[in-house]
Structure 1
Amino acid sequence: MPQNGDQVDRIEAPGLARGAVIAQSLDNQWVTAELTKEMIAKGRSLRDVDGARSLDVRAEYFRSLINTRQVVVNRVYFYNNLAVSCDFLEEGTSRRAHQDLLCKGALVPFLLQEREPTDRPLNVDIDETAFESWRETIAGLPATARLKCVRLSWDDVQNRQGTRAALFNPFAARVQGLTAKDMRLLATQVGVPQDRAHDFARAVGRLVEYSNELRVDDKPVTRNVLYQRFISVPGSPVSDGRYDKNKPFSGEIKQLLDLIYNVNLADAMGMYPLTPAGSLRRLALQEWRDVRGQSSGQTITDPEALVSYLKRQAFDTVQAGLTPAAIDSLELADIVSLRDTDEWNTYIDAFDLIISDPTAFNDHVNSVFRHYVDLNRKLSDLASRRTGDAKEWAPVIEIVVNVGGAVFTAITGDETWSLTGAVGTAAASTYGGSVQLVLRNRIAGHREQKFARELANVRFDTKNEWEQFQRLVERLPGYRQIASPVTATSAATMQDDNLPPEY
């Protein structure tokens, strides 16, 4: 393993690659909203659903490596998440592939207070076997290799202060701010029927009240503490993932706490979280009046510029190919091989152009889509060599614009054009949100690829700007308005311990 840090490049947020992301799916508590409902209804734990959940986590892990240049991973997840550690538990091709991704900076460990990636984290239950394999993996890096590791600060005093200021305190503040949201809209976004919205609001009120009590008593407000009170079965460790059906709205509150927990590190480092399909999206936090620019995006304030995200795009029809759902059959070595191809590099370069200047979206999105198609042909070729299974697929681009309580979605990619708008209850009084790019297969299915990426923040300063935007959208060809916003689920995070408790 590195001696005296001689192989470690200690970087802070500005040293990360443009477009670096944090993958939420590697969170030890991550479960899709639908699977959460099933677990609660049937009394199942995380271990009980490990088969289905691990398949999802593994696929999302690979998709994050395929669709982004760099993935920042909490160091604990390397050895506490089997979807990651399975590649280096033993010597072989998969361990070498993992080492290759580390050496190239595709995987970057996030260290909370450690100075070496092999330091044992304090106050964390870890998988001892995987941890020793992790140490062996780091020790086996080539002598000339440089391993990037990132912290909020490498000055220990500043790092402790930054951890509290950027991680612990914002988590508590966001929890305490939930009752200031539009509660009926929030209920809709987490999937609560409107006839139960008042009961849901009361449950959220109790969560906020308890959080306030902890803060007044100078006790830490952490996800673990709130899980124990409002989500987990009494007497069961939070890590078991047993969610109590007798605690009001335990599944919906879990979604909210996970979302809040997951965005803090990304915010602290000026990054966007990479949110998997089936998880609550950030728009549910209703941060529309306090939208902050990110290093990987910008804030759009011009209604006409925003409408450009929804304008019809002309893409060539893809007649046939192989489904990206075949990603399930790939090994980590295949992902390394894919990242070395011209197709992957041109796709990522094209994506970087959109990230660096979202207002020039129309100039670059056609290129992104074309290279996305080429990349997935390459991916499918790799998969078919393992399985011999070839299926048709139809790539599609969606542009999702959330403004206030409204959601506008433009879909194209198969010589058709669809633009829908759902205007929510908060749209007339709140004028902020985000723009999201979704790449997916038009042939729907649970295992089909769907990659979502936040591109930019949105903020209108006046009601007139919001109304101007709405009028412009309504005049676009093919526009139709539907009754109400859909739920906020579609699709990074970190592990708990005690620092106060580990974030």
Structure 2
Amino acid sequence: MSATAGGEFNRVVNSDLKPVAVVAQCLDNQWVPRELLGSMLEHGRSLRHAKVADARLRAVRHEYLRALLNSQQVIVNRAFFLNNHAVYQDFQNGGVSREAFKALLGDSVIVPYLYNETSLVEEREFTVQSEGERAWREAVGDVATGSCLRLSWDNDENARLTRLKLGTSFHRHLLTMSMFEAEPLQRDFELDEEDTRRLQARLRDVSRWALDSESVTRERFYKAFVVADDTNPAEGKYDRTKPFAAELKQLGDLKYNTALADALSRYPLTPADSLDRTALQEDRIISRSGGVSADELLHMLQQQAFALIQNPLNVGFTGLELDHVWRARGTDEWTLYKDSLLYLLQEPERLLETPEEFTARGQDVYNRYVSLAEQLSGIVGRRREGVVDRWQPIIKFSIHTLGSVISVMFDTDPYIEVAGEVADSIAAEASKAVVRFAVVGRDQRRAGKQLETSVDLMQVKFDRTRDEWNGLIRRMEESGFSSHRTVHRPDDDATLNAPDESEDTG
């Protein structure tokens, strides 16, 4: 038990977490949406610039609330309760938001993660906002019970796991950057061939630096490759004169923010308008399934194509607050959505033996999420005049391999989009591609402002990747899916990326 000013919190480890527990990247104090990052570099603005701070706060808040709505639990580093206004604004003052936060904390929906602390309120070793620290102590003191998380509650074991799973993992990632393939880099960052080659050369510089450095942290990496010289990385003054500072920052941040989720064998929640986890070019994105064949996947997609009925909704995030999410989680609609998602995640590859059942499960997640969205719209109530926030949900399957993505959009007339080419390194080899299921809005340009949910579902296995990948595309077209190719990376869904579950830290 962890002592607080008001009660006792259960000391938990990863094996005590719910199946769909997430670590939200948006709460990282360096996370910036890609569009905003480009603007910061163009205009020479830091994270402390008023326009940047306001835009970033809105984006963080949106993703934080989305995480709380879509998942069973959200794991939050204790530091964020003390220094992230998007989090502590809910319990800083009295009112319904504070009561909602206390309820979510007490019910272990919000689970504080302790790096090496043993108490939720012990003295901190990091920078805080005084109003956040004061509000946190008061809020925790009013909560009788809840849960707090560490990698291990044995101090020596926790230190070992922290070093191995978090520090060494980031160092190893920088070392492997020298081997990144051109095709996925070109797609993920929308580069031409010459800039792709230059980025690969810069990645080799990073790997050499990591090899020669005794101590590798994200802060030191930032100082060397991302931020202006002689500035504090926390200020976020990114240096456009340092080659590919934006691209290196995004790759470093993505690995930094997936490490804890992987250590816990749970889900890193990738925000909309951010790099997808496949940009890390990992050998294994998920390991819980043995993989299905391209024939089985195609059969399932054919069945799904004719099962959908789309209903436009006037639903979105305009006016959403924490108490709305809390109330929505208490509805039958949220419980049914959660149960349907868990059911879909139960050994999905076996369902391909009976594609009709798989289709029914996918359709059920869609239906339940739409019902939840309608319920949430009623809870939020009438939006301010002049605001049109029309959400038109569709089901989207995407298949991700190294270098290329096939997105299958089940709109009124189902179609596919193909981005990129299979990387040369796996072209003639066996591989597994990640299959993702999502409920997203038709208008992908507004994805970052809409309600959506997404989960990495299974793997599809190839013996000769490029031949079978191109064969899958051709057979989809022959089955009636219209298609088009794009040189750009597809629009991002807010994504629950399944971690490697082969390692257990509990």
TM-score, with structure 2 as normaliser: 0.88
CA-to-aligned-CA distance 1:73-116 (integer Å, 9 cap, x gap): 11111221110110111222211110000111111111111122
Q: Is the 8 A contact 2:297 2:460 kept in 1?
A: no
2:134 corresponds to 1:132: yes
Q: C-alpha root-mean-square deviation of aligned residues, in Å?
A: 2.5
Corresponding residue pairs, total: 477
Match of 1:81 among 80, 84, 88: 84
Task: Report the equivalent of 1:394.
Answer: 392
Please show how residues 25-424 of structure 1 align to structure 2 within 5 Å.
25-48=26-49, 49-122=52-125, 124-141=126-143, 145-214=144-213, 219-288=214-283, 290-293=284-287, 297-308=288-299, 310-311=301-302, 312-324=304-316, 327-359=317-349, 360=351, 361-385=358-382, 387=384, 391-412=389-410, 414-422=411-419, 424=421
| SS of match in other structure, 1:114 | coil
Range moving further from structure 2, 178-187 or 374-383: 178-187
The structural deviation recorded for 1:421 is 2.8
Range moving further from structure 2, 189-198 or 86-95: 189-198
Q: Is the 8 A contact 2:336 2:368 kept in 1?
A: yes
Q: Which runs of 5+ in 2 are unaligned?
A: 352-357, 497-506
Q: Is the 8 A contact 2:452 2:493 kept in 1?
A: no
Mapped to 2, the partners of 1:468 and 1:156 lie a distance apart of 49
Task: Report the equivalent of 1:499.
Answer: none
| Higher relative contact order, structure no. (Cα contacts within 8 Å, ≥ 6 residues apart) | 1
Q: Is the 8 A contact 1:23 1:492 kept in 2?
A: no
Judged with a 3 Å threshold, the aligned counterparts in structure 2 of structure 1 residues 78 and 249 are, in CA distance, closer, same or farther, namely same
TM-score, with structure 1 as normaliser: 0.88
Mapped to 1, the partners of 2:154 and 2:452 lie a distance apart of 36
Task: Report the equivalent of 1:497.
Answer: none
Range moving further from structure 2, 260-269 or 383-392: 383-392
The letter for the 1-side match of 2:314 is: L
The letter for the 2-side match of 1:176 is: L
The structural deviation recorded for 1:490 is 5.0
The letter for the 2-side match of 1:433 is: A
The structural deviation recorded for 1:444 is 4.4
Please show how residues 6-17 of structure 1 align to structure 2 within 5 Å.
7-17=8-18
| SS of match in other structure, 1:212 | helix
Q: Is the 8 A contact 1:277 1:450 kept in 2?
A: no
Mapped to 2, the partners of 1:482 and 1:300 lie a distance apart of 26
Mapped to 2, the partners of 1:3 and 1:203 lie a distance apart of 47
Q: Which runs of 5+ in 1 are unaligned?
A: 494-503
Mapped to 2, the partners of 1:391 and 1:488 lie a distance apart of 19
Mapped to 2, the partners of 1:432 and 1:126 lie a distance apart of 43
CA-to-aligned-CA distance 1:223-252 (integer Å, 9 cap, x gap): 111101111111221111110011011011
Q: Is the 8 A contact 2:75 2:111 kept in 1?
A: yes
Judged with a 3 Å threshold, the aligned counterparts in structure 2 of structure 1 residues 112 and 309 are, in CA distance, closer, same or farther, namely farther
Mapped to 2, the partners of 1:466 and 1:13 lie a distance apart of 38
Mapped to 2, the partners of 1:71 and 1:269 lie a distance apart of 12
| Identical positions, percent | 30
The structural deviation recorded for 1:263 is 1.1
